[in-house]
Amino acid sequence: MEPNTPPPPDALSRRQVLGGLAAAGVAATVGAPAAANAGAAPASPPQNPVTQYPQPPFPQQQQPWPGLASRMTPRPDHGETSYKGSGRLAGRKALVTGGDSGIGRAAAIAFAREGADVAINYLPAEEPDAQEVVAVIRQAGRKAVAIPGDIRTEAFCQQLVDRAARELGGLDLLANVAGRQQQRQAIAELTSEDFDATLKTNAYALFWITKAALPHMGPGSTIINTTSEQGFNPDPWLLDYAPTKAFIANFTKALAKQVGKRGIRVNGVAPGPYWTALQVTGGTPQEKVPTFGQDTPYGRPGQPAEIAALYVHLASPESSFANGSIMGESAGKGLP
């Protein structure tokens, strides 16, 4: 079905039934505030996820690492025009690493539209992307704090967290999204410098930032780590990266057991293939870029906007029983 074609009769009747229940006040009886039913959003027709976003083939393209989302073709959708909030994170104070582009940008935009003040970290070379995100956060009426710097040292990770907490007036939401992925076809090509840089970025920095953040956090605070389908089913050219994603999933579960009793929740998001700068800066073998994401049941990669709601869900008190959970979105590839 193409976008904007009328929904099938069964979908319509289901909505009518739900609408009828809401009108009858049934939702209010299970605890939803009455205001939630008043002025309900206009019906939106079902969208076909297969045709909702660009399909491969994409133009061949490469950028020097870390790259800019703004120079990609097609430009990734981070929800800039589409994500609508409903106050689910009102007043929260969030730090998002890798918040300039890709999945981190989508999470940062969604957090702001849900009412959170947001600090983002990124590399100095990514300032143009970061400034686009800052503008979107401010348009949402929220405070934006831009903190560039390289997370591969413990000293900077501590400064990052302290500055975010100081400028936001606290910290109760940490999304660890930054990551390094550089493909190498054979173990012989994987240098110790590569191995070190990947582990520093994906494993050590996650540990350092989380360790620095926890003293700022009280009950109800949430940490969301970004693992990957690669942590469960690795590609052969990601011999350093994929194990860091398995580490992140395991670290998430262990920390969740440690701090859950304090009312702090730690969960993980496991994306499948998403169209981001990571892929066109050496993360995916160059010859595979034009067909990136074609191996999903939709025949296309995800757009960052499609996974932002999962970060919102794990941050919000509505997911209060989720702790140590790894939740994925990979369009039916059979992974978390």
**If binding is defined by CB under 5 A, does position 108 make contact with Mg ion?**
no
The label of the residue with tokens 């919102």 reads 312
CB 62 within 8 A of CB 183: no
Look at residue 51 and give its three-state secondary structure.
Answer: coil
Q: Could you tell me the smallest distance in angstroms from the CB atom of residue 98 to Mg ion? A: 6
Residue closest to ligand NAD when measured from CB atoms: 102
Q: What backbone torsions phi and psi does residue 302 show, to the nearest 5 degrees? A: -75, 155
Instruction: Mark residues 272-311: x for contact with Mg ion by CB under 5 A, - for none.
Output: -----x----------------------------------
Closer to ligand NAD at the Cβ: 12 or 154? 154
Question: What number of residues does the chain have?
Answer: 336
Q: Could you tell me the smallest distance in angstroms from the CB atom of residue 245 to ligand NAD? A: 7
The label of the residue with tokens 């590609």 reads 235
Q: Could you tell me the smallest distance in angstroms from the CB atom of residue 274 to ligand NAD? A: 4
CB 73 within 8 A of CB 62: no
Q: Which two tokens stand for residue 91?
A: 């007043």
Q: Could you tell me the smallest distance in angstroms from the CB atom of residue 130 to ligand NAD? A: 8
Q: Of residues 209-238, which lie at the interface with Mg ion (CB under 5 A)?
A: none
Sign of torsion over alpha carbons 177, 192, 153, 261: positive
Pick from 58, 77, 101, 225 the residue near Mg ion by CB under 5 A.
101
Closer to Mg ion at the Cβ: 100 or 240? 100
Q: Which residue from 313, 309, 208, 202 is spatially nearest to 267, judged by alpha carbons?
A: 313
| Catalytic member of 53, 83, 122, 241 | 241
Instruction: Mark residues 59-98: x for contact with Mg ion by CB under 5 A, - for none.
Output: ----------------------------------------
* DSSP code per residue over 280-327: GTTTS-GGGSTTTTTTSTTSSPBPGGGTHHHHHHHHSGGGTT--S-EE
Q: Which two tokens stand for residue 147?
A: 């903190």
From Mg ion, ligand NAD, none, interface partner of 328 (C-beta below 5 to 8 A by class): none
Closer to Mg ion at the Cβ: 101 or 225? 101
The verdict on whether 241 is a catalytic residue reads yes
From Mg ion, ligand NAD, none, interface partner of 172 (C-beta below 5 to 8 A by class): none
Closer to ligand NAD at the Cβ: 91 or 190? 190
Closer to Mg ion at the Cβ: 96 or 212? 96
Closer to ligand NAD at the Cβ: 7 or 243? 243
Look at residue 36 and give its three-state secondary structure.
Answer: helix
Within 8 A by CB and 6+ apart from 24, the residues are none
Counting Cα atoms < 13 Å in the Cβ hemisphere of 232 gives: 16
Counting Cα atoms < 13 Å in the Cβ hemisphere of 295 gives: 9
Distance CA 43, CA 326 (A): 31
**If binding is defined by CB under 5 A, does position 181 make contact with Mg ion?**
no
* Alpha helix (H) residue ranges in the chain: 9-23, 26-29, 34-37, 102-113, 127-139, 154-168, 192-199, 205-213, 241-259, 308-315
From ligand NAD, Mg ion, none, interface partner of 282 (C-beta below 5 to 8 A by class): none
Q: Of residues 116-135, which lie at the interface with Mg ion (CB under 5 A)?
A: 126
Q: Can you give the binding site for ligand NAD, defined by CB under 6 A?
A: 66, 98, 100-104, 121-123, 126, 150-152, 177-181, 201, 226, 228, 271, 273-274, 276-279
Closer to Mg ion at the Cβ: 101 or 252? 101
Q: Which two tokens stand for residue 24?
A: 């009858």
**If binding is defined by CB under 5 A, does position 100 make contact with Mg ion?**
yes
From Mg ion, ligand NAD, none, interface partner of 112 (C-beta below 5 to 8 A by class): none
Residues annotated as catalytic are: 241
Interface residues with Mg ion (CB under 5 A) are 100-101, 126, 277
